[in-house]
Amino acid sequence: MNPVKAQCKRCGNFVPSDQFRLHFEYRQMVCPGCFKGKAVAKDEKPKKVEPPRPPGWDADDDYLEKMSRLKKQEQNVQFKKIPGTDQVQCTCMKCKYQFKYDPFRKRPRVCPYCSEEIPQMKTFSML
């Protein structure tokens, strides 16, 4: 006999499914090990420790760092808001073609000239 095994959501071990029991605290089916509280739950990692900030670090630096990270993600395309419109000026970094981009309809999806994909723009939050 080869019983069907299922993965325990707490510890990730594969255990015959008929050995699972509903744990009142976890409110889910767990393997016998977890039921007895012996297995270490995967999601109980120690809390992430924030790296120490350099002296003089403030929220502005945090913001700038975030923006530069976003810019790095969007190297293929450059966006510039067109004043008075909902659209942005988009410059394809591959072919330097400039075109209007509608951030709300997300159109066009690719560069009209070279068909380079336009990344989903997270920096539209700057609009």
Smallest distance, Zn ion to C-beta of residue 91, A: 9
Burial class (CB within 10 angstroms; exposed 0-12, middle 13-18, buried 19+) of 19? middle
Question: Binding to Zn ion by residue 63, rule CB under 5 A?
Answer: no
Would you give the DSSP letter of residue 9?
T
The beta strand positions in the chain, using DSSP E, are 5-7, 14-16, 21-23, 28-30, 77-81, 88-92, 98-101
Residue choice 19, 29, 97, 103 for contact with Zn ion (CB under 5 A): 97
Q: Shortest approach of Zn ion to residue 62 CB, angstroms? A: 33
Piece of the chain touching Zn ion by CB under 5 A; list 21-29, 49-57, 84-92, 118-126: 84-92
Rg (CA), the chain: 25
Question: Using the rule CB under 5 A, is 99 a contact of Zn ion?
Answer: no
For residue 105, what are the contacts with CB-CB under 8 A and spacing of at least 6? Answer: none
Q: Does 121 bind Zn ion (CB under 5 A)?
A: no
Q: Least distance to Zn ion from the beta carbon of 107, Å?
A: 15
Stretch that binds Zn ion, among 42-50, 63-71, 72-80, 94-102 (CB under 5 A): 94-102
Residue count of the chain: 127
Q: Which stretch binds Zn ion (CB under 5 A): 18-26, 53-61, 77-85, 96-104?
A: 96-104
